[in-house]
A and B are shown apart, each in its own frame.
Chain A
Amino acid sequence: MKGLYDNEMKIVFASKTVNEAFARITVAAFVSQLDPTIDELSDIKTAVSEAVTNSIIHGYENEEGSVEINARIFANNVEIEISDSGKGIENVEIAMRPLYTSKPNLERSGMGFTIMQSFMDEMKVESSLGFGTRVIMRKKIRSVEEEQVS
């Protein structure tokens, strides 16, 4: 925990959709030490909600399991890692296509990954069938940068 990052946190919670709000609010509270704008915070909350929902409804298909979030801050960057030990994704490239969903019956729209990509600066998906999925996202908080300039 020393040296690499300015700050770091980790939460683990049960794969229940009721925890989606808990997860995004907790990450937002952690990120708020960088003094983000309302829009930046809203983007982060949305991206976290997408990844956490995916772990719960796709990774564990609403079965028991746990979702882990690691968040790190270095300078004015935030890195958020969301992982599950669920069923994994067979083809990440296909899964990431806009409007692709394996669960249209749940009224899913297939826009989760597209939203994560466009609301964050960087997004990476690592997945292994039968073992789980990890989504890593990064965003630079610009309000801090602006303050330093002025």
Chain B
Amino acid sequence: MDFSYSNEDRLLTVYLTEEIDQHTAEKVRRKIDDEIERFIPRKVIFDFDNISFMDSSGIGMVLGRYKLAKMLGGDFEIINVNKSIKRIFEMSGVTRIIMTREKNNIKIEEKQGIINEKIQKNFNEEEEDEGII
């Protein structure tokens, strides 16, 4: 498991690297909590790009970290999950409370859509900032 933290936008990204079951979930949850408590991020991103396997232990592991991040005032997002992991998150209701993005086999047009959305969002935020000044 790796972490990256960007001071600028207070973004903590957690790169999960091991198959997630009860054994590995117990191992990593404390470490992730420590990082969240250390940085108090504006947003925590769980990156599942390297995870091909997760059982239901992952549900509690994700929800536990989500609750901590929320309690400390941060947002939470899950990215790069494969189809089978997405299904587990859907069945348990996780996707209803946490933004969950599937792995990038999305079409170019959709990708462009997301990029446009991002540009628009940055633009809006800048405008908001200016408004405050």
- Residues on A facing B (Cβ under 8 Å): 17-18, 20-21, 24, 39, 42-43, 45-46, 49-50, 53, 56-57, 98-99, 106-109, 111-112, 114-115, 118
> Is A20 a contact partner of B22 (Cβ separation < 8 A)?
yes
> Is B26 a contact partner of A111 (Cβ separation < 8 A)?
no
Interface SS of B by simple majority: helix
CB distance from A97 to the nearest CB of B (A): 13
Q: A43-B84, A46-B84 are in contact. Are A107 and B56 (CB under 8 A)?
A: no
Residue B21 contacts which of A21, A43, A108, A115 (CB distance < 8 angstroms)? A21
List residues of chain B with CB within 8 A of the CB of A43: 84
Interface residues of B in 50-88 (CB under 8 A from A): 52-57, 59-61, 63-64, 83-84, 88
List residues of chain A with CB within 8 A of the CB of B26: 17
Chain B contact residue count (CB 8 A cutoff): 23
Interface SS of A by simple majority: helix
Q: List 28 A-B contacts (CB under 8 A).
A: A17-B21, A17-B22, A18-B23, A20-B21, A20-B22, A21-B19, A39-B84, A43-B84, A45-B53, A46-B84, A46-B88, A50-B56, A53-B21, A53-B22, A53-B55, A53-B57, A57-B22, A98-B91, A106-B60, A107-B25, A107-B57, A107-B60, A107-B63, A108-B60, A109-B60, A111-B59, A114-B91, A115-B91
List residues of chain B with CB within 8 A of the CB of A106: 60
List residues of chain B with CB within 8 A of the CB of A45: 53
